[in-house]
């Protein structure tokens, strides 16, 4: 247990920040899950729209410091590749 006033304050501050960062990560995961759900159902248009909405949320996580820049880039890149593949397979089934 902390004995110094500054250490006690730091513990309180860390608890508040952990709650905020947890909420931010949960929000980002929700947006990613919406893209993955649309991909799983095979709805290419919904997946494209979900990715368009999710991308700024992921980038906002970088700005706020809850995600590393390269992690966000990797997640966006992989989601975009999956959405693109779904759109191509969808158009191939139509043709």
Residue 47 to residue 40: CA distance in whole angstroms: 9
> Of 41, 49, 39, 50, nearest to 86 (Cα)?
39
Residue 25 to residue 58: CA distance in whole angstroms: 9
Domain spanning 5-94, CATH architecture: Up-down Bundle (1.20)
The pLDDT of residue 94: 66
pLDDT tens-digit series, residues 21-53:
999 999 999 999 999 999 999 999 999 999 999
Domain ranges across the chain: 5-94
Residue 26 to residue 83: CA distance in whole angstroms: 22
Residue 45 to residue 51: CA distance in whole angstroms: 10
Is the CB of residue 47 less than 8 Å from the CB of residue 21?
no
Which stretches of 34-74 are assigned E, i.e. beta strand? none
Residue 65 to residue 63: CA distance in whole angstroms: 5
pLDDT tens-digit series, residues 47-86:
999 999 999 999 999 999 999 999 999 999 999 999 999 9
């Amino acid at each position: 247990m902390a004995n110094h006033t500054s250490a006690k304050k730091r513990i309180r501050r860390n608890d508040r920040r952990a709650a905020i960062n947890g909420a931010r990560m949960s929000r980002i995961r929700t947006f990613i899950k919406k893209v993955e759900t649309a991909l799983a159902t095979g709805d290419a248009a919904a997946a494209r729209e979900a990715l368009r909405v999710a991308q700024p949320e992921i980038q906002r996580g970088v700005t706020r410091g809850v995600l590393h820049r390269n992690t966000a880039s990797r997640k966006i890149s992989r989601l975009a590749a999956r959405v693109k593949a779904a759109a191509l397979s969808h158009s191939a089934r139509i043709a």
